């Protein structure tokens, strides 16, 4: 069972993500925090298999968080979850060390993306590949 750590500032999204991912038998949400700072502070031990990070966070941005996490744990799989559809964000995310860029659009993509990243592949939402 893959262990997922979620960083999301929107409470509704936090609940919904937890609920939605819980439905997936192969996934286990090991923690949900509301900010980057909180994530760094309460980072799960043992380390999760994947960190799902909302890009637009109050304070430290999602991008910055990925950089920080990679400084501490290089190779830690991180996936950017974002409402922004501009491609340059995708590039920025990957530059920061993300392994995937998941657009908040089609929920079915989410478990798929997680599986793919865990399998060691990069993921970009279908919509952004056009």
Q: Which residues pair with 51 in a beta bridge?
A: 5, 78
With contact defined as beta carbons under 8 Å apart, do 123 and 99 qualify? yes
DSSP single-letter state for residue 125? -
What is the 3-class SS of 35-82, one letter each residue? CHHHHHHCCCCCCCCEEEEECCCCCCCHHHHHHHHHHHCCCCCEEEEE
Nearer to other proteins, 8 or 76 (CB): 8
How many Å apart are CA 32 and CA 9, to the nearest integer? 10
Nearer to other proteins, 57 or 76 (CB): 57
Nearer to other proteins, 71 or 108 (CB): 108
CB of 48 to other proteins, least distance (A): 20
CB of 45 to other proteins, least distance (A): 28
CB of 73 to other proteins, least distance (A): 25
Nearer to other proteins, 73 or 85 (CB): 85
Name the residues that contact other proteins, by CB under 8 A. Answer: 10, 12-13, 15-17, 19-20, 23, 56, 61, 83-88, 104-108, 110
CB of 74 to other proteins, least distance (A): 26
């Amino acid at each position: 069972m893959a262990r997922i750590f979620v960083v999301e500032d929107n409470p509704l999204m936090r609940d919904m993500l937890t609920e939605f991912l819980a439905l997936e038998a192969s996934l286990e949400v090991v923690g949900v925090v509301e900010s980057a700072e909180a994530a760094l502070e309460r980072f799960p031990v043992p380390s999760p298999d994947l960190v799902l990070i909302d890009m637009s966070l109050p304070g430290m941005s999602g991008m910055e968080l990925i950089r920080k996490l990679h400084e501490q744990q290089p190779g830690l799989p991180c996936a950017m979850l974002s409402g922004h559809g501009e491609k340059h964000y995708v590039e920025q995310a990957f530059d920061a060390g993300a392994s995937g860029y998941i657009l908040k659009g089609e929920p079915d993509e989410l478990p798929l993306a997680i599986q793919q990243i865990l399998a060691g592949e990069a993921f970009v939402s279908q919509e952004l590949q056009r």
